[in-house]
Structure 1
Amino acid sequence: MVIGTFNMRMWWVCVSLEYDLIQITKAILEDTTSKVCTLSNLDFIKRQLKKMMGKFLLVLDDMWNESPSDWDAMKFLFSFAAPGSRVSVTARSKTISSIVTTNGDLTCFSPTTLSKEDCWEIIKKKLKTEVDNREDLKAIGLQLAEKCKGLPLAATMIRDALHLKSKEVEWDGLLKL
């Protein structure tokens, strides 16, 4: 049974530390066409993308670049948008949030970070080793939780790495990475 149709393209692009407008635009074009884009000129890429655009949801994930001029350069994408299109940005920086949200009807999500104790709870959950009675592992585990910088994904990855490890030297080895 079809309840409704969702006639909108969706792109999820991880921006991360390396802000490269050509790479971001190429990623969107490649996702749209399902073909590798060999173009390197931004104007040519824009023209190809403009032909493909319609109504879309664009998620720019993990934006780190705080330059308003770089953000202005990216806004060309929005000029191709059909009514009802949306752009969402995830960022850890309040500066990015203010740059994005002052540019029209856009949203920016700033994920909150966890406390060291919450990260420690994630790390010790589902471990094969009972760590609450092991002061040696608990001390290292709390240091590892601190290294997570409040990011639940980092805590989960540490937990997965320690899943079957019960020796202090193994935990200490991960801490020193």
Structure 2
Amino acid sequence: MTKKRQETHSFEREDEIIGRDDDKAALLKLVLESQSEENVYIIPIVGFGGLGKTALVLLVYNDEMVKSHFELTMFVCVSNVFDVKLIVANIIKSVTNQAPDQNLEMDQLQKQLRDKIDGKKYLLILDDIWNEDPEQWSRLKKLLMGGTNGSRIIVTTRSLKVAKITNKCESHVLKLKGLSDDDAWSLFKKIAFEQRYVDSTNSTFVEVGKQILKRCGGVPLVIKTIASTLSLKETENEWHSFKEYELAKISQIEGDILHTLEL
């Protein structure tokens, strides 16, 4: 069985994203300033689940400089199934705000797509790509190369192999890392103490909170999940109990931690 990831969308509140200012600046530079021999340049963002790849992309996607720089901006959630026909239909839908006729053949869809994007400077986000088959990627890429100079495609993926397939120039692959200790604590504190059940100045809660935070590895989704759980626990004993018993069950292996938290 494969679990389908919850579908992403193109909106994110900037004030809810902590610790990604440097990554945003680096991505903006690649999107707005980097030069390429190809009209359409592909920027992969790679990192394991929960690091906030989509959130970072949306910071840039919704930036006013970016909006004014491109004639078209499009966002498509790809996820587990890399179906070229479906992706093309969803790109068209992102441009027109209307789904194309489901009875259209691939040839008709590709003509619609090229009619919408060819000759325009566009930004396309392809979020959460898992496909590691170069041939499949090549089929899609051929349909997207008609944009004018300065067009960009941002790809988010958990797989370094996907990143290398989409862009062989490693210097233009943005590898996302966990949050710094200070940023991780800011995020944790913002959520864990938001219910006002516990006092963020109480040294006992702060000490236990920081011990718990060490287990989160700087991963924003893990921090949010655990901090949200703690925000409903009112006593020191409950926080200690969570640290000693529930937290001990969580594996710190990158691929396992999110699955464990889901359970």
Q: Normalising by the residue count of structure 1, what TM-score does the alignment of the two structures yield?
A: 0.70
Distance 2:262 2:152 in 1: 43
Distance 1:102 1:139, change over 3 A: closer
Distance 2:228 2:112 in 1: 43
**Pick aligned residue for 2:153 from 63, 84, 87:** 87
Structure showing greater relative contact order (alpha-carbon pairs closer than 8 Å, 6 or more residues apart): 2
State the SS of the aligned residue for 2:234.
Answer: coil
Q: CA RMSD in A?
A: 3.8
1:48-127 alignment runs, 5 A limit = 48-53=112-117, 54-102=120-168, 107-114=172-179, 121=185, 124-126=188-190, 127=192
8 A contact 2:79–2:128 mirrored in 1? yes
Distance 1:25 1:125, change over 3 A: same
Distance 1:32 1:176 in 2: 34
Distance 1:114 1:91 in 2: 18
How far 1:30 moved relative to its partner? 0.6
Q: Normalising by the residue count of structure 2, what TM-score does the alignment of the two structures yield?
A: 0.50
Tell whether 2:39 aligns with 1:39.
no
8 A contact 1:58–1:88 mirrored in 2? yes
Q: Which residue of 2 aligns with 1:158?
A: 226
Distance 2:130 2:203 in 1: 37
**Identity in percent:** 29
Distance 1:176 1:59 in 2: 27
State the SS of the aligned residue for 1:145.
Answer: coil
Distance 2:143 2:81 in 1: 19
8 A contact 1:21–1:74 mirrored in 2? yes
Tell whether 2:100 aligns with 1:29.
no
State the SS of the aligned residue for 2:178.
Answer: coil
Distance 1:78 1:56, change over 3 A: same
Unaligned 5+ segments in structure 1 are none
Q: How many residues align?
A: 167
Distance 2:167 2:230 in 1: 40
8 A contact 1:9–1:55 mirrored in 2? yes
8 A contact 1:90–1:110 mirrored in 2? no
State the SS of the aligned residue for 1:38.
Answer: coil
8 A contact 2:213–2:223 mirrored in 1? no
